[in-house]
Structure 1
Amino acid sequence: MKHIFKTVISASISATAVVPAVAMAHTGYETSGLMVGITHPFTGLDHLLAMVAVGLWAAQMGGKATWQLPLAFIVTMAFGAGLSMLGVTVPFVEGGILASVIAAGLLVAFAVRFNILLCTALTAGMAMFHGVAHGAEMPVAASGLSYLSGFLLATLMLHLAGIALIKAGKPAIAAMTARITGAGIAAGGLVLAVI
């Protein structure tokens, strides 16, 4: 199992390093969508915290949840972004994002383990708000597909970072680190909610 995560992480890092270079190598192609998409989740603390928390929670649960929760997040986020790009209005986006950060942090801090279907549904619910926000913030001149590809890749990287934090260390230390990180994420969400 560890070698699978090492392979996925290495491939993701390689792709992140190579994709911008490839995109910039040809003049005449729209590149800002991809680059903006890749950087977008890293520039918003709310997005960054939630996406790392999903990876942490998935790894805490283990088994199928390790890949099922991140996959549910990415697919639903893409769907939400698509709705937003088509002009569909979704209410309470900012509140939903902040609630998702706090909830995801608490789920990790308390190492909550619900039925996998419920966990997947919760993860998808959180992702919808993030996806709608990403779609709404797409630059006007950007290619939608390019922008979408960029932020989905960045989201995968953040999920993998959370998973790696749990899987890379000794189980007892990793479990404590995850709980402390989850509490920090929830606290960060509360701070973001009041500022």
Structure 2
Amino acid sequence: MTRSKSTRIVFVAIMLASACKPALSHIGVGSANSFAAGLAHPLFGLDHMMVMVAVGLWATLRGGRALWGWPVAFLSLMLVGSALGIAGVPVPFVEPVILASIVGLGLLIAAAVDLPVAAGAIMIGFFAFFHGHAHGTEILETAGGLEYVTGIVLATACLHGAGLGLGLLPGQRFRGIVRLAGAATAATGLGLMLGAL
């Protein structure tokens, strides 16, 4: 698949997401002021789990520096977004972009799009920023906020690791399973957009 075609796929996913109702994945998260709450949060949100595992899966399809660069890009930009969310800086379209990240990353995996490492890091970082902002806005201005973010970062890294571990299983059969998982991720994202899930 050409780079321009993959760019169009992601653009279409973003446009679809912006036309749909917001995801409710960040409403009613409960306590956002402890390490345990931060650690649990990504593990109980479908959007979090799918996107964070997808980053690892797509990195294995790309290989090389993407194996560490893309997860690091996600974690870094997620922290930037979290800081702005904590500071109360408004960012538009947070939930639609989170939905678009599910569909977009799923399609990129399903099509085994082979972007340059830097371009993939920019795209992943873009999505991560919005995930981070959503997390940051959940945090109350308490001493527990730092512990909450630490928990989220650790859980996110573990989910990236799960995607990497699954994607690095040997054999072409597993590569096909990774691509199938991408298609399932994209379909789930569309289901969330349409309110079917």
TM-score, normalised to structure 1, is 0.81
Superposed, 1:120-135 pairs within 5 Å as 120-135=121-136
Structure 2, unaligned runs of 5 or more: 1-31
Superposed, 1:1-195 pairs within 5 Å as 33-139=34-140, 141=142, 143-167=144-168, 169-195=169-195
Q: Which has the higher helix share?
A: 1
State whether residues 33 and 139 of structure 2, in contact with CA within 8 Å, keep that contact through their aligned partners in structure 1. no
State whether residues 33 and 139 of structure 1, in contact with CA within 8 Å, keep that contact through their aligned partners in structure 2. no
Map of 1:18 onto structure 2: none
Identity across the alignment (%): 43
TM-score, normalised to structure 2, is 0.80
Question: CA 1:43–1:140 in structure 2 vs 1: closer, same or farther (change >3 Å)?
Answer: farther
Q: Which amino acid is 2:190 matched to?
A: L
How many equivalent pairs are there?
A: 164
Distance (Å, rounded) in 2 between the aligned partners of 1:79 and 1:140: 17
Question: Stretches of 4+ moved more than 4 A in 1?
Answer: 139-142
Q: Which amino acid is 1:173 matched to?
A: R
Structure 1, unaligned runs of 5 or more: 1-30
Tell me the alpha carbon deviations over residues 13-53 of structure 1, each in whole angstroms, 9 at most, x when there is no partner. xxxxxxxxxxxxxxxxxx95101110111111111111110
Distance (Å, rounded) in 2 between the aligned partners of 1:124 and 1:139: 25
Q: Which amino acid is 2:103 matched to?
A: I
